[in-house]
Amino acid sequence: MIVIVCPGQGSQTPGFLAPWLDVPGARDHLVELGEAADLDLVAHGTTSDADTIRDTAVAQPLIVAAGLLTLRLLLSEGRGDIIGGIAGHSVGEITAAVGAGVLSETDGMGFVRRRGLAMADAAATTPTGMTAVIGADEQELLALLDELGLQPANFNGGGQIVVAGAPEALAALAEAPPSRARVIPLQVAGAFHTRYMEPAVASLASVAELLTPSQPNTTLWTNRDGSVVADGRTFVDLLVGQVSSPVRWDLDMQAFASAGVTGLIEVAPAGALTGLAKRGLKGVPTVAVKTPDDLSAAYELLAHDA
């Protein structure tokens, strides 16, 4: 069973979409996605600098568009019938929703644009940040977070947990981390997937009410608890609530393993989730589709599983 995974915010780098524009039809597709999001995604994916594409309101639509660009090429010529399921990490869940047929590309891009704007607005109200903690004992870390007033935001598996909250509390964590743990500050604009994002949830709920989701056409896992969601409206509601809830990618990977995953393909901008899979799904073949040159390896993995 091949699982397609879709990365989240922070995976983008300046110019990462430039190689894709040489693929026939890719530029037109990216223009269409940009029109749906009211953003010049061609420019943001090729010439915009790191600060510009770090902006949450730009980064989220750009990441989803890159994933959709990849999915159209990856699953063409009937290859979509081979995949066993799809999941996304954080904003990548919107990519997965489109890939599973729950949302149209137009609705997905409109939704992610509103999500990015709402989360950027929420982040601007209070100074916050995020830090990756690697190698800590989970219970020791969670107890320390309670003491510092911080929250876990991403349980990524493989010993990595991303935490979020006030800058001074993150600084205190860095000064006195859990035993045997590495602490890595992240260049993000807010405390995503925590209580600080609750204003964005209210904003997105009104947007979600206007959508008409379809039922998933393949197995679709949620970040909420790693479970399979078989109803489109339920998945959209989970997308809304997930903005202020921790991402449980560790449970998603456990679910992949329980379902019998035999290979994992990550769509652009790829690398983060295949990296986590090397620790959380040891021995499972992976392909990170970073550029069009990587599609051949993905096709081979799909063909092997057909």
> How far does Cα 258 stand from its chain's mean position?
21
Distance CA 44, CA 50 (A): 10
Q: Which residues of the chain have pLDDT under 50?
A: none
Q: Per-residue pLDDT tens for 151-183? A: 999 999 989 999 999 999 999 999 999 989 999
146: exposed, middle or buried (C-beta count within 10 Å: 0-12, 13-18, 19+)?
Answer: exposed
Walk me through the domains of the chain, giving residue ranges and CATH numbers.
Answer: 2-124+194-305 (3.40.366.10), 129-186 (3.30.70.250)
Tally the C-alpha atoms within 13 A of residue 278's C-alpha that lie toward its C-beta. Answer: 9
Report the pLDDT value the prediction gives residue 306, as an integer from 0 to 100.
Answer: 61
90 as an active site residue: the answer is yes
State residue 82's pLDDT score. Answer: 82
pTM: 0.95
Which one of 11, 90, 203, 244 is the catalytic residue? Answer: 90
Distance between CA atoms of residues 15 and 295, nearest Å = 19
Residue 104 falls in the annotated catalytic set = no
Closest CA to 110 of 271, 267, 273, 239: 239
Report yes or no: 225 and 198 within 8 Å, Cβ to Cβ: no
Of the candidates 193, 203, 206, 227, the residue annotated as catalytic is 193
Q: How far apart are CA 87 and CA 295, in angstroms?
A: 19
What is the per-residue pLDDT for 77?
67
